[in-house]
């Protein structure tokens, strides 16, 4: 593995390097699950329809089914029977008669048109048509929507509220999906305490495991949370070894910069093939990526905004690749008019937190959440988007156009 450690690397280069390491899925990664247990999983093969949809010719209207060969001027059709949705008509129906039919009911054999009831007059003698009818009219043909054997979902699609009901509508009972990715996480830092422990002088609460764990669970990963690891080489080595044994991917936070207590780098030189990058993005400059003995590794920066941002922009796409989620895409970027200034100096691609909305005149507008420090996590909860400011861009004045990237479900539900 080769890493460019000289200077800053761009987000795109980092993404490309990570993506280049995405291994192909094998049969061992696949399991077959009942539909009800497959929510959030990724399809391991195209899903083909076992049935035709609709499964039989049926009426698109409430009206009367007839044979168009029986049509002639002044024809009156006696009603020979009824067909309801779920209750087909099976009897004889003599030439020149019609069948009362409801929407969704199977079209009786021989009928080749349905006239809607609004285009008829019903008398004691039968039904008279008040409009012309052509063969095939108001009949939804078998397989109109989906043919048996058609691929209805591609490989690499996440099964959500749009996909599972579709499969249910086809009577699909089992679906081949990838096993969930196993991810081990921990935070590093002598100053960190878990929620529930009073803080001593110089200590802070651990934010990052909450953010990372929740985002991983939303993506559908199985998470092993190893807690807070002290800035101690032995403790770190033990954590990395335990994480590597369990996981496909290990994610740590903190200790990836150049401070005196940043042991992560030293450990990783020993335990794997890891590159340390200085990313040309803000926040989130220090980031580590590579491979332990077995598992992949991502080392997030310690500052909570940087950790969440690098997870979102780099780890999320990497996990999509590892998970076989080929249909995954980043949220689109839209142009919006800044209604406040955005502080910036040239040098790094900046992901500021913003609040976008549509103005009364229908224009997309965006304003800053205020303080953009990499420790100001409240900026995420106020925001609904990243304001993406190009690497070379300087301060943005109100009125200028900027790129807005709406948060996806990981950051806002
Ligand atoms: P480090 O990269 O370990 O030097 O951490 C950079 C900054 O982020 C320091 O101010 C740390 O105290 C802080 N930090 C590191 N990990 C966490 C965490 N899990 N939660 C909150 N803050 C953290
Ligand atoms: Mg630290």
Domain with CATH 2.40.340.10 in the chain: 334-406
Return the number of other C-beta atoms located less than 10 Å from residue 129's C-beta: 18
pLDDT at 6 over 70: no
Neighbours of ion ligand 2 (CB under 5 A): 189, 254-255, 302
Enter the tokens of residue 103.
């929407």
d(CA 109, CA 412): 53
Question: Measured from the CB, is residue 301 less than 6 Å from ligand 1?
Answer: yes
Question: Measured from the CB, is residue 253 less than 6 Å from ligand 1?
Answer: yes
pLDDT at 268 over 70: yes
Q: What is the pTM of this model?
A: 0.89
Which residue bears the tokens 């491979």? 291
Tens digit of pLDDT for each residue in 303-324?
Answer: 999 999 999 999 999 999 999 9
Predicted confidence at residue 5, as pLDDT, reads 42
CATH dotted code for 8-34+179-323: 3.40.980.10
Mean pLDDT computed over 374-401: 95
Mutate to test the pocket of ligand 1, among 189, 214, 230, 277 (most ligand atoms within 8 A of CB): 189
Task: Give the fold, CATH level 3, of 58-140.
Answer: Molybdopterin biosynthesis moeA protein; domain 3 (2.170.190)
Ligand 1 center–CA 189 separation, angstroms = 7
Predicted confidence at residue 4, as pLDDT, reads 44
Q: Residues 6 or more apart from 315 whose CB is under 8 A from it?
A: 251, 298, 300
Enter the tokens of residue 38.
């497959």
Tell me if the bond preceding 283 is cis, omega within 30° of 0: yes
Q: Which ligand 1 atom is nearest residue 208's CA?
A: 19
Predicted confidence at residue 247, as pLDDT, reads 98
Tens digit of pLDDT for each residue in 217-250?
Answer: 999 999 999 999 999 999 999 999 999 999 999 9
Mean pLDDT computed over 169-184: 97
Check: CB of residue 9 under 8 Å from CB of residue 287.
no
Which residue bears the tokens 């599972």? 164
Question: For 68, which DSSP code?
Answer: G
Domain with CATH 3.40.980.10 in the chain: 8-34+179-323
Predicted confidence at residue 2, as pLDDT, reads 46
Question: Measured from the CB, is residue 203 less than 6 Å from ligand 1?
Answer: no
Predicted confidence at residue 214, as pLDDT, reads 97
Of 324, 345, 355, the closest CA to residue 389 belongs to 345
Mean pLDDT computed over 64-71: 97
Question: Measured from the CB, is residue 310 less than 6 Å from ligand 1?
Answer: no
Which residue bears the tokens 């020979």? 80
Question: For 235, which DSSP code?
Answer: H
Of 307, 356, 361, 348, the closest CA to residue 331 belongs to 356
Predicted confidence at residue 3, as pLDDT, reads 46
Ligand 2 center–CA 261 separation, angstroms = 6
Question: Measured from the CB, is residue 259 less than 6 Å from ligand 1?
Answer: yes
- Which ligand is nearest to the Cα of residue 228, counting in written order? 1
Q: Where are the alpha helices (DSSP H) in 190-251?
A: 208-219, 233-246
Question: Measured from the CB, is residue 144 less than 6 Å from ligand 1?
Answer: no
Of 46-50, 182-186, 233-237, least confident by mean pLDDT is 233-237
Q: Percent of the chain having pLDDT more than 90?
A: 89
| Coil/strand/helix, residue 307 | helix
Tens digit of pLDDT for each residue in 72-94?
Answer: 999 999 999 999 999 999 999 99
- Which ligand is nearest to the Cα of residue 299, counting in written order? 1
Predicted confidence at residue 368, as pLDDT, reads 98
Q: What residue's CA is closest to ligand 1, atom 11?
A: 302
Q: Could you tell me whether strands 334-338 and 401-406 are parallel, antiparallel, or unpaired per DSSP bridges?
A: antiparallel
Q: Could you tell me whether strands 30-34 and 63-66 are parallel, antiparallel, or unpaired per DSSP bridges?
A: unpaired
| Coil/strand/helix, residue 104 | coil
**How much is the mean pLDDT over the chain?**
94
Mean pLDDT computed over 36-45: 97
Ligand 1 center–CA 259 separation, angstroms = 11
Task: Give the fold, CATH level 3, of 334-406.
Answer: Beta-clip (2.40.340)
Return the number of other C-beta atoms located less than 10 Å from residue 334's C-beta: 14
Q: Percent of the chain having pLDDT more than 70?
A: 98
Predicted confidence at residue 285, as pLDDT, reads 86
Check: CB of residue 193 under 8 Å from CB of residue 203.
yes
d(CA 274, CA 294): 12
Q: Which ligand 1 atom is nearest residue 257's CA?
A: 2
pLDDT at 9 over 90: yes
Check: CB of residue 87 under 8 Å from CB of residue 58.
no
Predicted confidence at residue 106, as pLDDT, reads 98
Question: Measured from the CB, is residue 208 less than 6 Å from ligand 1?
Answer: yes
More confident residue, 376 or 57: 57
Tens digit of pLDDT for each residue in 135-160?
Answer: 999 999 999 999 999 999 999 999 99
Predicted confidence at residue 384, as pLDDT, reads 96
d(CA 246, CA 242): 7
In degrees to the nearest 10, what's the CA dihedral of 13, 405, 376, 182?
A: -60
Tens digit of pLDDT for each residue in 286-307?
Answer: 999 999 999 999 999 999 999 9
Check: CB of residue 185 under 8 Å from CB of residue 252.
yes
Mutate to test the pocket of ligand 1, among 197, 200, 204 (most ligand atoms within 8 A of CB): 204
pLDDT-based confidence at residue 261 (cuts at 50, 70, 90) = low
Predicted confidence at residue 256, as pLDDT, reads 85
Domain with CATH 2.170.190.11 in the chain: 58-140
């Amino acid at each position: 593995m080769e890493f460019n450690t000289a200077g800053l690397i761009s987000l795109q280069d980092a993404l490309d390097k990570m993506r280049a390491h995405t291994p192909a899925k094998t049969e061992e990664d696949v399991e077959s699950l009942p539909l009800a247990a497959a929510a959030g999983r990724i399809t391991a093969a195209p899903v083909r329809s076992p049935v035709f949809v609709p499964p039989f010719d049926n009426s698109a209207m409430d009206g009367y089914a007839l044979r168009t060969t029986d049509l002639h001027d002044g024809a009156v059709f006696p009603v020979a029977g009824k067909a309801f949705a779920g209750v087909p008509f099976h009897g004889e129906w003599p030439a020149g008669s019609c069948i009362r039919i409801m929407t969704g009911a199977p079209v009786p054999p021989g009928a080749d048109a349905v006239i809607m009831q609004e285009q008829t007059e019903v008398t004691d003698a039968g039904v008279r048509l008040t409009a012309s009818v052509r063969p095939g009219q108001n009949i939804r043909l078998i397989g109109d929507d989906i043919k048996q054997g058609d691929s209805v979902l591609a490989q690499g699609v996440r099964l959500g509220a749009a996909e599972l009901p579709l499969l249910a509508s086809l009577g699909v009972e089992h679906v081949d999906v990838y096993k969930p990715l196993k991810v081990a996480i921990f935070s590093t830092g002598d100053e960190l305490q878990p929620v529930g422990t009073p803080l001593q002088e110089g200590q802070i609460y651990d934010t990052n495991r909450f953010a990372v764990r929740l985002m991983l669970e939303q993506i559908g990963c199985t998470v092993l949370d190893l807690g807070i690891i002290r800035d101690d080489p032995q403790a770190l080595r033990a954590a990395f070894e335990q994480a590597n044994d369990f996981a496909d991917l290990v994610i740590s936070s903190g200790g990836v910069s150049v401070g005196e207590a940043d042991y992560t780098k030293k450990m990783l030189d020993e335990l794997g093939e890891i590159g340390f990058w200085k990313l040309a993005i803000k926040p989130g400059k220090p980031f580590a990526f590579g491979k332990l003995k077995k598992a992949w590794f991502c080392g997030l920066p310690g500052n909570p905004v940087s950790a969440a941002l690098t997870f979102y922009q780099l780890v999320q796409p990497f996990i999509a690749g590892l998970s076989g989620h080929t249909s995954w895409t980043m949220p689109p970027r839209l142009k919006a008019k800044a209604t406040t200034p955005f502080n910036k100096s040239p040098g790094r691609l900046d992901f500021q937190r913003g609040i976008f909305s549509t103005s009364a005149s229908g224009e997309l507008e965006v304003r800053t959440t205020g303080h953009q420090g990499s420790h100001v996590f409240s900026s995420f909860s106020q925001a609904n988007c990243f304001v993406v400011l190009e690497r070379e861009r300087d301060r943005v004045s109100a009125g200028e156009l900027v790129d807005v990237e709406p948060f996806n479900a990981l950051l806002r539900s």
